[in-house]
Every structure is written in structure tokens, then in C-alpha cells.
């Protein structure tokens, strides 16, 4: 091919130059015929260029290139083949895209692609039924304008996306959704939404069942505890053989009552997202009262309990819930620290928010237990638990209260040396007094 167009160019030049030189020989004037010849050659090239330009601009798909001679013919053909190849590649890519889109469109889970600012780029059919997105009106809209739940806005703005988020569907209150966002490419977001209504209903049934059973057991237990108390108040009328049994029954009855109270509290904490009474709480005063209770609990065990609290830092939230969480941590420190041990309670703040911490010089916890401590009824050592009279629900309550106050729990412990439980509160929950 190369040879062809080279010889064609050579032939053209020869055909141009020979007549010009002949005319020059006859007339004795070489410059003018050469100029006319080169001008004609140039005009022919410009004409071919214009033909190429018109063909490229007005070409219909699959339209063959214009006929051309020599070098121009070669150029027309090459461009045509390049375009055909490009069309074939594009066709194959389109087929792959179509298949991916068809399969994601058929998914029962919603798939939504958002740009780096959270504006909608693409979504499948399930996104329309689960989130109510409308094609094509919603294209380019911000996702936080379409899913307006306050928890979603907070989740999206935080930008961490470590855990999935559960929400009711914005189009149907009966649908419960789980949303998970992943970043990809150039900080774009891929959002997957699953319908977990069935799972949510089962979870709700479990919660209701536990709450109802706890509630129903409360009355008979109160009656039994009442009679036991009356019997033990009149201890002189009781057959001495039954005295120990009655005392143990009273002890276990009190344990059951604590258990029911904790179960009911957990059920209440799970029922809503955030505390209903979101008021400023004076944590320093709250901790002073908890410290006094801890001293009473320690009684003859002579723990050295100290408190350092910043009086200028207050927390937004529910005082009852915070009291229950903080006292659980402080009372645990008393329960799991040997006599005369040291317990330090601290409440302080910095630019990352505020921290409440309890450090003890107690028995400590092995690292392998730490991640599971906040599970309900999880105990490091069950013999230890029955000895301390704990319910195994204390840290689960702490976790739930903290979740409701946008805080997190950090546990550090060295067996035999002691533990530190720290609650980290974000700046938006903290109020500083001047
Ligand atoms: P419990 O009612 O049994 O204390 P919690 O949920 O409060 O239940 O605590 C779970 C387990 O974590 C406890 O059984 C105990 O083994 C361990 N634990 C909690 N706090 C401490 C602590 N300060 N020192 C050592 N172990 C602790």
C-alpha cells in the first residue's frame, strides 16, 4: 500500500513537471509554467481536502468515503476503516453497558450513583419504588433533598459510612430500608438500599415480646417480694429452718426485679432514635451525686473514689438516661475493683467534644472480650457475675444511651491492672458556659 501511494505521488509530480519543463523548453520561460503547474497541483489538493471535510461533517452512518486517487484515496480509506473499527468497539461497549444496566435494573435492591457532592447521576428501577426517585426529573438533584430524614442528612454529611443506616422509606412508612454508601472513583458515591421490612418486623416482634414479658412479670414479682418482705419483717414468727431459704428468695427476687427494670429500660431506649427530653444537663452535679452513690455502694470496701469535672461543660440530652449510663460505668468500677482500690471519674472537654471517663485499678478484662462487652448478657466470667449480682445488661444500656447522644464508648483494659471506660461526645452535643 505504502509503495502504491508513494509511486502515485511520484507519478503525479512527474506528470506535472515534465509538461511544465517542455513548455519552458519551447518558450524559454521556466518560472511561469512551473508556477501554473504547482498552483494547479495545490488547487487539486485543496479540493480533496474540502471533499474530506464535507464527508466528515455531513456523513451518515455507514456512508462510504468519496472516491479518491493515490494518497487521498488511501487517506479516505484509512479514516473510513478507523471509524468502522471505532463503531464496532463502541457497539461492544454499549452492549456491555446495556447488560449491566439491565441486570442492575432487574435487582430488587436499589442502586444509586451519586457524584462527589451527592447529586443523583444514575439509579435503577428499585430506587424509584423504594425511595420514590423520579426519572428523569430528579437527575442532578441532591440526594439529601429527596431523602429528607434528619438521620440520613446527618449520616451523609458526616461522610464516614462505616455502618449501614436503617430508615423508614420516604414514600411508604410501612417499608423499612437499610442504606449503605460506599465511595468509589473520584470521591463519587455508590448507594445501595435494601428492603428490610421483614427483618425489621421480626426485630420489632422480639423487642415487643421482651418488653411485654418484662412488664407482665413485674406485678407477680412485686407481690412475691412484698410477701417475702412481710415474712422477714416478722422473723420471730418464722420457722428458723426456713429463714435462710426466705432470705435467698428475697435476694434472688431483688435480682429478678433489677433484671426486669434493665430489660424495660433497654426496650424504652430502643423504641426511639433520640432522647425526647433534649435539655442541657449539668454533668458535674450529676457526677457528684453518682460519686456519693458509688461511695455508699463501696461501703466497707474502702475504695478511693475521686472526681474531676469541668463545671463549664454541659451536655445536651436526657438526664435520666445519662445518669443510668454513667452510674452503670461507675458502679461496675466499684464492683470489679478489689477493696481499697482506686477509682477516678473525669469529665473534661477539648476541640473534639467532651469525654467522660472512669478509670479503676480493678481486675481488668482480657482484650479478646472487649469487642463483645456491650452485647446483652455477655459476661467475661459468669461466676464473677453471680457474685457481683450484675444483670449483664449494664453495658448494653450504656451503649444505647450513648448512641442516642451521638457518642461512642471506648474501652481500654489490662488484666490485673485495671480498666478505663471512656465516652466520647461530639462537639454538637456539648454546651460550654463562659
Ligand atoms: P454486669 O451486670 O454483669 O456487670 P455489664 O454489662 O455491666 O454486666 O458488664 C459486662 C461484663 O463486663 C461484666 O460481667 C464484667 O465481666 C465486665 N466488666 C464491666 N466493667 C468492668 C470493669 N470496670 N472491670 C472489669 N470488668 C468489667
Kindly report the protein residue whose alpha carbon is nearest to atom 18 of ligand 1: 332
Kindly report the protein residue whose alpha carbon is nearest to atom 3 of ligand 1: 392
What's the confidence (pLDDT) of residue 12?
76
Residue 335 pLDDT class (50, 70, 90 cuts): very high
Quick one: cell of 426? 461530639
Looking at the fold, whether 143 and 241 belong to one and the same domain comes out as no
Q: Which atom of ligand 1 is nearest to the CA of 369?
A: 12
The residues pairing with 119 across neighbouring beta strands, listed in sequence order, are: 142
Q: How many angstroms does the Cα of residue 213 sit away from the middle of ligand 1?
A: 25
Asked whether 52 and 76 are in contact (CB, 8 A), the reply is yes
Residue 382 pLDDT class (50, 70, 90 cuts): low
Kindly report the protein residue whose alpha carbon is nearest to atom 25 of ligand 1: 364
Residues in contact with ligand 1 (CB, 6 Å cut-off): 328, 332-333, 336, 360, 362-363, 365, 373, 379-381, 384-385, 390-395, 419
In terms of DSSP bridges, do strands 313-317 and 408-414 run parallel, antiparallel, or are they unpaired?
unpaired
| pLDDT surpasses 70 at 2 | no
Q: How many angstroms does the Cα of residue 389 sit away from the middle of ligand 1?
A: 11
Looking at the fold, whether 136 and 182 belong to one and the same domain comes out as yes
Instruction: Report the alpha-carbon distance of residue 421 to residue 208 in Å, rounded.
Output: 31
Last residue of a domain, one of 156, 177, 195: 195
Looking at the fold, whether 300 and 215 belong to one and the same domain comes out as no
Q: How many angstroms does the Cα of residue 22 sit away from the middle of ligand 1?
A: 112
Looking at the fold, whether 224 and 347 belong to one and the same domain comes out as no
Q: How many angstroms does the Cα of residue 379 sit away from the middle of ligand 1?
A: 7
Look up the CATH number of the domain holding residue 118. Answer: 3.30.450.20
3-state secondary structure of 419: strand
Looking at the fold, whether 287 and 385 belong to one and the same domain comes out as yes
Look up the CATH number of the domain holding residue 405. Answer: 3.30.565.10
Residue 384 pLDDT class (50, 70, 90 cuts): low
Using CA atoms in the order 50, 55, 56, 58, what is the torsion angle rounded to 10 degrees?
120
Q: How many angstroms does the Cα of residue 332 sit away from the middle of ligand 1?
A: 6
Q: Averaged over 181-206, what is the pLDDT? A: 94
Instruction: Report the alpha-carbon distance of residue 125 to residue 113 in Å, rounded.
Output: 13
Q: How many angstroms does the Cα of residue 391 sit away from the middle of ligand 1?
A: 9
Beta strand segments in 288-379, E: 304-309, 313-317, 342-350, 353-360
Q: Averaged over 302-314, what is the pLDDT? A: 95
Distances 329 to 142, 326, 347 between C-alpha atoms, Å: 42, 5, 13
Using CA atoms in the order 317, 319, 321, 324, what is the torsion angle rounded to 10 degrees?
140
Looking at the fold, whether 153 and 262 belong to one and the same domain comes out as no
Tens-place pLDDT, residues 118-150:
999 999 999 999 999 998 899 999 999 999 998
Instruction: Report the alpha-carbon distance of residue 46 to residue 43 in Å, rounded.
Output: 5
Residue 411 pLDDT class (50, 70, 90 cuts): very high
Give residue 238's domain range: 199-271
Q: Which atom of ligand 1 is nearest to the CA of 389?
A: 2
Q: How many angstroms does the Cα of residue 346 sit away from the middle of ligand 1?
A: 19
Instruction: Report the alpha-carbon distance of residue 134 to residue 128 in Å, rounded.
Output: 6
Instruction: Report the alpha-carbon distance of residue 309 to residue 78 in Å, rounded.
Output: 82
| pLDDT surpasses 90 at 236 | no
Asked whether 127 and 193 are in contact (CB, 8 A), the reply is yes
The Cα angle at residue 389 between residues 327 and 393, in degrees rounded to 5: 55
Residue 24 pLDDT class (50, 70, 90 cuts): confident
Looking at the fold, whether 45 and 185 belong to one and the same domain comes out as no
Q: Which atom of ligand 1 is nearest to the CA of 381?
A: 16
| pLDDT surpasses 60 at 433 | yes
| pLDDT surpasses 80 at 387 | no
Looking at the fold, whether 308 and 412 belong to one and the same domain comes out as yes
Looking at the fold, whether 55 and 131 belong to one and the same domain comes out as no
Q: Which atom of ligand 1 is nearest to the CA of 360?
A: 23
Last residue of a domain, one of 102, 124, 144: 102
Q: What percent of the chain has pLDDT over 70?
A: 96
Best mutation site among 370, 372, 384, 395 for ligand 1 pocket (most ligand atoms within 8 Å of CB): 395
Looking at the fold, whether 13 and 92 belong to one and the same domain comes out as yes
Asked whether 183 and 189 are in contact (CB, 8 A), the reply is yes
Looking at the fold, whether 17 and 130 belong to one and the same domain comes out as no
Q: How many angstroms does the Cα of residue 77 sit away from the middle of ligand 1?
A: 82
Best mutation site among 254, 332, 382 for ligand 1 pocket (most ligand atoms within 8 Å of CB): 332
Closest CA to 169 of 157, 178, 159: 178
Looking at the fold, whether 257 and 306 belong to one and the same domain comes out as no
In terms of DSSP bridges, do strands 110-114 and 188-195 run parallel, antiparallel, or are they unpaired?
antiparallel
What's the confidence (pLDDT) of residue 391?
84
Look up the CATH number of the domain holding residue 208. Answer: 1.10.287.130
Q: How many angstroms does the Cα of residue 330 sit away from the middle of ligand 1?
A: 11
Strand order across the beta sheet in which 176-184 lies: 120-123, 110-114, 188-195, 176-184, 165-168
| Total tally of structural domains belonging to the chain | 4
Last residue of a domain, one of 250, 271, 292: 271
Asked whether 292 and 326 are in contact (CB, 8 A), the reply is no
Amino acid at each position: 500500500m505504502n509503495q502504491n501511494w508513494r509511486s502515485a505521488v511520484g507519478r503525479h509530480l512527474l506528470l506535472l513537471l515534465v509538461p511544465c519543463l517542455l513548455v519552458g523548453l519551447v518558450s524559454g520561460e521556466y518560472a511561469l509554467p512551473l508556477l501554473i503547474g504547482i498552483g494547479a497541483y495545490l488547487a487539486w489538493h485543496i479540493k480533496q481536502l474540502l471533499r474530506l471535510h464535507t464527508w466528515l461533517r455531513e456523513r451518515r452512518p455507514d456512508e462510504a468515503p468519496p472516491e479518491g486517487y493515490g494518497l487521498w484515496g488511501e487517506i479516505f480509506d484509512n479514516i473510513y476503516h478507523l471509524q468502522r473499527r471505532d463503531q464496532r468497539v463502541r457497539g461492544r461497549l454499549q452492549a456491555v453497558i446495556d447488560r449491566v444496566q439491565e441486570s442492575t435494573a432487574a435487582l430488587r435492591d436499589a442502586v444509586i450513583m451519586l457524584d462527589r457532592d451527592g447529586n443523583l447521576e444514575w439509579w435503577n428501577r428499585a430506587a424509584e419504588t423504594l425511595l420514590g426517585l423520579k426519572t428523569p426529573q430528579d437527575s442532578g438533584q441532591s440526594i439529601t433533598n429527596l431523602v429528607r430524614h434528619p438521620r440520613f442528612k446527618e449520616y451523609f454529611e458526616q461522610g464516614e459510612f462505616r455502618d449501614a443506616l436503617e430508615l423508614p422509606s420516604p414514600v411508604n412508612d410501612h417499608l423499612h430500608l437499610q442504606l449503605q454508601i460506599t465511595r468509589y472513583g473520584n470521591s463519587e458515591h455508590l448507594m445501595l438500599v435494601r428492603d428490610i421490612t421483614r427483618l425489621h418486623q421480626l426485630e420489632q416482634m422480639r423487642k415487643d415480646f421482651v418488653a411485654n414479658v418484662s412488664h407482665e412479670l413485674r406485678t407477680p414479682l412485686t407481690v412475691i417480694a412484698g410477701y417475702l418482705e412481710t415474712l422477714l419483717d416478722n422473723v420471730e414468727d418464722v420457722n428458723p429452718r426456713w429463714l435462710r431459704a426466705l432470705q435467698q428468695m428475697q435476694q434472688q427476687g431483688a435480682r429478678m426485679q433489677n433484671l426486669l427494670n434493665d430489660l424495660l429500660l433497654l426496650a424504652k431506649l430502643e423504641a426511639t432514635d433520640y432522647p425526647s427530653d433534649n435539655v442541657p444537663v449539668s454533668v458535674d452535679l450529676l457526677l457528684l451525686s453518682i460519686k456519693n452513690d458509688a461511695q455508699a455502694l463501696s461501703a466497707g470496701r474502702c475504695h478511693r473514689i475521686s472526681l474531676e469535672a469541668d463545671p463549664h461543660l454541659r451536655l445536651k440530652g436526657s438526664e435520666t438516661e445519662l445518669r443510668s449510663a454513667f452510674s452503670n460505668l461507675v458502679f461496675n468500677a466499684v464492683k470489679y475493683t478489689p477493696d481499697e482500690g482506686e477509682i477516678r471519674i473525669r469529665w473534661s472537654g477539648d476541640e473534639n467534644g467532651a469525654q467522660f471517663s472512669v478509670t479503676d485499678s480493678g481486675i481488668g478484662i482480657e482484650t479478646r472480650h472487649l469487642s463483645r462487652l456491650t452485647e446483652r448478657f455477655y459476661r467475661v466470667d459468669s461466676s464473677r457475675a453471680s457474685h457481683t449480682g450484675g444483670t449483664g445488661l449494664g453495658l448494653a444500656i450504656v451503649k444505647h444511651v450513648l448512641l442516642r447522644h451521638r457518642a461512642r464508648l471506648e474501652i481500654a483494659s489490662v488484666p490485673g491492672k485495671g480498666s478505663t471506660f471512656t465516652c466520647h461526645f461530639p462537639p454538637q452535643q456539648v454546651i460550654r458556659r463562659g
